[in-house]
Amino acid sequence: MKRLLALLAMGTAIAMAPAMAQERATDPLGGLAHCFDDGEFRVASSARLPANKQFREVQTRNGAAKVSTVDGYRLMLHKDSRAPLVNLKVEKSADGQFEQDRAAVLAYMEMFSDTRGEGANPLEVTRQDGVEVMALNQAGIDGGGPLSFYSFAHQESGVIGTAYILAQPPAMREFRNYAEYASLRDRFVGKLVHCMAQQPLPPRG
C-alpha cells in the first residue's frame, strides 16, 4: 500500500514537469491555482495542464474509468522547509461530465482503500462548505510514502482536486508527532476547501 501510494505520488510529480500549454481564451482555475499565495503554504512549482490533455484514467473495481480534464493545474506546495509537503492537482470537468467524473474518483478511492492492510484508517467521506472531501490517512508518520491521499469534488463549479500530503524526510519534517501532522494537514484541507468553495460558478444558459 505504501509503495503504491509512493508510486502514484511520483507519477503525479513527473506529470508536473513544465509543458507548453496551448493558448486558451479563459483561465477558470487561475484563482484557485493562486489560493495559497497569502498563507502558510507556498507554491514551489506550478504547471498548467496542456489544452490537448482532455482526460485522465483511474482504476476502479470495474476496470479503468475516464475523468475529464478540460483544464487543470499541477502544484507542489511547501511550508517553511525545503522539503515538499503537498503534491496537488486541481482540474475542471467538461460540461455535463462532473457527476460521472466524481463517481469515477470515488470508485478509485474505494478501490484504493481496499488495498490497505488491516488496521489502516478507512476511507472517510465528508462534506465541508459544499465540497465533498474523500480522505485516506495513514495511522502514523513514520511508515514512508504519502501520509494522506485526498480527493475533493465541488459540484457547483465542476472542479475536482487531488492531494498527496507527503511524509517529508525526518531531518526536514515540519511536525514532531501525529497530532502536529494532523493539525497541519487539516489546515491545508481547510484552506483548499475554502478556495474551492469560492470558485466562480459557470454561466447558466
> What are 19-70's pLDDT values in tens digits?
344 467 789 899 999 999 888 999 999 999 999 999 999 999 999 999 999 9
DSSP strands (E only) in 17-85: 42-48, 55-60, 63-68, 71-78
pLDDT of residue 178: 95
State pLDDT tens for residues 88-108. Answer: 999 999 999 999 999 999 999
Q: What is the mean pLDDT of the segment spanning 186-202?
A: 90
Give me the pLDDT at residue 202, please: 62
C-alpha cell at 33: 491555482
Q: How many residues does the chain have?
A: 205
Give the model confidence (pLDDT) of 142-187 as tens digits.
877 899 999 999 999 999 999 999 999 999 999 999 999 999 999 9
Give the pLDDT mean for 112-133: 87
Q: How far apart are CA 64 and CA 185, in angstroms?
A: 30
Residue 71 confidence (pLDDT): 96
Q: What is the mean pLDDT of residues 186-194?
A: 97
* Confidence band for 16, pLDDT divided at 50, 70 and 90: very low
- What is the dihedral sign for C-alpha 190, 49, 44, 139? positive
Nearest to 194 by CA among 29, 84, 79, 32: 32
Position 129 confidence tier, pLDDT thresholds 50, 70, 90: very high
Q: What is the mean pLDDT of residues 81-90?
A: 95
Tell me, what's the pLDDT at 119? 64
- Cell numbers 500530503 correspond to 165
Q: What is the pTM of this model?
A: 0.85
From edge to edge, which strands make up the β-sheet containing 148-154? Answer: 42-48, 71-78, 86-92, 159-165, 148-154, 131-137, 124-128
% of the chain surpassing 70 pLDDT:
85
Among 155, 154, 165, CA closest to 189: 165
